[in-house]
A = this chain, B = another copy of it.
Amino acid sequence: MAKTSVRKNKDFNPTNCAVTFCMNIIGGKWKPVIIHLIRNNTNRYSLMLKAMPEASKQTLTNQLRELEADGVIERIVFAEVPPRVEYKITAYGGSLLPIIDAMRVWGRKHMPGV
């Protein structure tokens, strides 16, 4: 399991909470953004980086690796010059989309401004 914003002591999730388990997967600082970008075909490393200028390369890489390790996204390398890498949502990751959509709807309704 990848590390996330929800702090964990060793591998123990509070009371083995299923909600926490879910949040550990989508709870990284940039993960919702990344998932959203990939859904909208902004699925290449450099494009994503440009789309989120507040994140560093390392941070983007870390979040991508975690999402990949959790099986949410898939990494596809094209043997080309210059090299090209694309990411796509897996079927497993797709099962999370309804939840993310629900959160986005809620967020839009309740977040100040915007």
A80 within 8 A of B: no
A103 within 8 A of B: yes
The CA of A17 and the CA of B106, in the complex, are separated in Å by 11
Q: Is the CB of A18 within 8 A of B111?
A: yes
Count class of interface residues, chain A: 35 or more
Cβ–Cβ < 8 Å partners of A103 in chain B: 18-19, 22-23, 99
Cβ–Cβ < 8 Å partners of A38 in chain B: none
Give the Cβ gap from A114 to chain B, nearest Cβ, in Å. 5
Residues of A within 8 A of B (CB): 5-9, 12, 14-23, 26-30, 32-33, 36, 52-55, 92, 95-96, 98-100, 102-108, 110-111, 114
